[in-house]
Amino acid sequence: MNKMLGKRAVSAHQKNLRREALLTAARELFVEAGFFDVSMAMIAKRAAMAKGTVYLYYKTKEELFLELSRRDLEIWFEDLISKLQNLPENPETHAFVKAVMATLEGRQTAIRLLSLLHLVLEQNVSREEVLNFKLDLLNHSEIAGAEIERVLPFVHQGQGVEILAAIHCQIIGWGQMTDISPVVNEVLEDKRLSPLRIDFAASLQTSLLCMVEGIKKLSSP
């Protein structure tokens, strides 16, 4: 038994501590080994709980990781919104992109979770959980979207959320293309393959820059 958590979580507060402990354990293991190679048994052990206990808090492995994604996304959104708020109106495109890029620094885990989200996390989860997740996502998206609309004057109303989705899309895309397995890494050391070696940050920054410039151009008559 985890001494820190006490014997039984009776109060809502204690239950939240348990949930938090599980998420922390899951995140650590996810970083170390990836989603597929982490088992519920490992998570339980790391969180100093019994296997069965995990299921009192999360009905499936996917639900646990979906919650983890929600937390990470929430933090990211808050960071993004805050950084956008600090931008002057109609900034250099470059400044806008830099701000977005800054929100991704040190967020490898969140980026990897984003890639898993659609492929695995939204499976084997109840309607209700998905709905809550999506409502949460929408909520944050709309706030961040509005902020984008405020900052970039050439973005018309409602387009903010779409731009957010496009950013999301590129994070997933570049994320996957650069989050490669050790074997691939080794193979890519072959000189002939140098054109296929891609840097996440550089590629994302460039493509975001193009995107924003493109939007700007297409918006003005």
Partner DNA sequence: TATGAATGAGAGTTCATTCAT
Partner DNA sequence: TATGAATGAACTCTCATTCAT
**Binding residues for its own copies, per CB under 8 A?**
36, 115-120, 122-123, 125-127, 130-131, 134-135, 137-138, 141-142, 158, 161-162, 165-166, 168-174, 176-177, 179-181, 183-184, 186-188, 190, 192-193, 195-196, 198, 203, 206-207, 209-215, 217-218
| DSSP state string for 28-93 | HHHHHH-STT--HHHHHHHTT--HHHHHHH-SSHHHHHHHHHHHHHHHHHHHHHHHHHTSPSS--H
What SS3 class is residue 60? coil
Q: Does 60 bind DNA (CB under 7 A)?
A: yes
Q: What are phi and psi of 16, to 5 degrees?
A: -65, -35
d(CA 78, CA 60): 27
Q: What are phi and psi of 212, to 5 degrees?
A: -65, -40
Please report how close the Cβ of residue 96 comes to its own copies at its closest, in angstroms: 13
Tell me the window of 36-44, 133-141, 158-166, 213-221 that interacts with DNA (CB under 7 A): 36-44
d(CA 175, CA 72): 16
Q: Does 46 bind DNA (CB under 7 A)?
A: no
Question: 175 with 111: CB under 8 angstroms?
Answer: yes
Tell me the window of 6-14, 97-105, 145-153, 212-220 that interacts with DNA (CB under 7 A): 6-14
Q: Toward its own copies, which CB reaches closer, 1 or 119?
A: 119
Q: Toward DNA, which CB reaches closer, 34 or 158?
A: 34
Binding region for DNA (CB under 7 A): 1, 5-10, 14-15, 18, 37-42, 49-53, 55-57, 59-62, 124
